[in-house]
Structure 1
């Protein structure tokens, strides 16, 4: 549970760092915002699934602005912290049954889902950094070890 807690502290930190960087870029960045919002929407979807809420109608991709992303960052931080306060070590290997956006049913453990959410976000944050570099902006340092050191 301690490792998962640290992973989510890092996730929250990384979302805030991406958001702060996007606020400093003057050029067209809709593709970057679209990737960032996808991370945030996915966090909402998975948190809903973990809580037994139907997520099949929730967006995963949507065209939103940076202000909306800022609201999602705050909302997701609150939801993640609340969820991690109620889940315990014994819960991690319990199966969750959920449907994806196509209506297909799946089952995974809470541990698998929590791990997936973190890794999914890291993957897309790497894509965001690549796009930032192509815009001439400095990529955001998001390494876990950098988070631990700070």
Structure 2
């Protein structure tokens, strides 16, 4: 097995775990607070979650899975309904694990060629670029937890080590 496989599977697992915890923490957030401009790069919790859904699942997933480069603006609002947005984000995180399990060493050690939403062509290391997808999610979940705290809501603990502790305690 490729040295990246275990790490990528762990990160996909973490993405599922952290997204589920974040979604749970967002359930009690009022619609007004969910859509309030809290100074995030994509303005609101809603805008940032839409960007996460768009980036991970409508841009990066097709680049890896199908070899296509969709051209969708990064600030596109995929869903305005909070519950649909949260449900789809949580469900789509499950796709990455099964996808990664199908990858062989040749692919993982290879390159990914894709076109950005602005039309630039890139060819980058496949595994490292896939790691970027999970790192990107971690970055934006961190922004959202800061917004939750700022708005007076309880923020979930999303550190990877807590997932590992949970898994250890379940075994």
Change in CA separation of 1:105 and 1:51 when aligned onto 2, cut-off 3 Å = same
* Structure with max Cα Rg: 2
Q: Which runs of 5+ in 1 are unaligned?
A: none
Cα root mean square deviation, aligned: 1.6
TM-score (norm 1): 0.90
How do 1:1-150 and structure 2 match up within 5 A?
Answer: 1-26=5-30, 27-30=32-35, 31-44=44-57, 45-63=59-77, 64=79, 65-69=81-85, 70-77=87-94, 79-150=95-166
**How many residue pairs were aligned?**
149
Q: Which runs of 5+ in 2 are unaligned?
A: 36-43, 167-171
Alpha-carbon distance between aligned partners in 1 of 2:28 and 2:104, rounded to the nearest angstrom: 39
Deviates more, 1:109-118 or 1:54-63: 54-63
Alpha-carbon distance between aligned partners in 2 of 1:81 and 1:87, rounded to the nearest angstrom: 10
TM-score (norm 2): 0.80
